[in-house]
Amino acid sequence: MGELINIFIKSAFIENLALSYFLGMCSYLAVSKTVKTAFGLGLAVIFVLAITMPINWAINTFLLGEGGLFSTDLTFLRLILFIAVIASMVQLVEMVVEKYSPSLYNSLGIFLPLITVNCAILGGSLFMVSKEYGFAESVSFGLGGGFGWFLAIIAIAAIREKIRYSAVPAPLRGLGMAFLLTGLMGLAFMSLMGIDLAAFN
């Protein structure tokens, strides 16, 4: 259990997908103008990461690996299968949410399809493979990674809402400032590398 909590903390804070690997930057920069929309996208990312990660783990282990169903090394199909799983999962999640929770659907609505091409999702799955996580670990990694990304986008959106009232030099306004802020936040997050994970056990 301690191991799983460690993975959660590590993926949420120390190896934050958005602020240490800069994954999912396109939607991160595009949808962070107000906290409200950022909140919706962040929730959707947690959701999709936590669902696709275990599924991709199962596919990678039981279908593609040498010990899998076809007992041959099919890892060259990994990218295509992963992205297909993500695209179809996003579609499925969208339909389920629409049916059972129209209010959540209305707040997530436009962001769900965007998530298919969010690098944080595919990147998360690929990191999971390269780190050789097991099933429980991949669930924890998915939740943690999603939570970290959620925190990051909420934080930048809050800062960007305030900075609109500052006298930023014209060429730097908007995008340039968002880059600078993300860089500074990345620096701040680097200080979390000092967390001693053994202390949580």
What residue ranges bind other proteins (CB under 8 A)?
Answer: 20-26, 29-30, 33, 76-80, 83-84, 87-88, 113, 116-123, 126-127, 130, 164, 169-177, 179-180, 182-184, 186-187, 190
Taking residue 100's Cβ as centre, other Cβ atoms within 10 Å add up to 9
Pick the closer one to other proteins by CB: 68 or 174: 174
Minimum CB–partner distance for residue 92 and other proteins (Å): 13
Could you give the CA distance from residue 50 to residue 148 in angstroms, rounded to a whole number?
Answer: 12
Pick the closer one to other proteins by CB: 8 or 127: 127
> Longest Cα pair distance anywhere in the chain, in angstroms?
62
Minimum CB–partner distance for residue 64 and other proteins (Å): 13
Among positive and negative, which fits the CA dihedral 73, 64, 117, 158? negative
Pick the closer one to other proteins by CB: 5 or 195: 195
Helices (H), the chain: 2-9, 25-30, 35-58, 78-100, 102-108, 111-115, 119-130, 135-163, 175-190
Minimum CB–partner distance for residue 27 and other proteins (Å): 8
Could you give the CA distance from residue 82 to residue 62 in angstroms, rounded to a whole number?
Answer: 14
Minimum CB–partner distance for residue 19 and other proteins (Å): 8
Pick the closer one to other proteins by CB: 39 or 78: 78
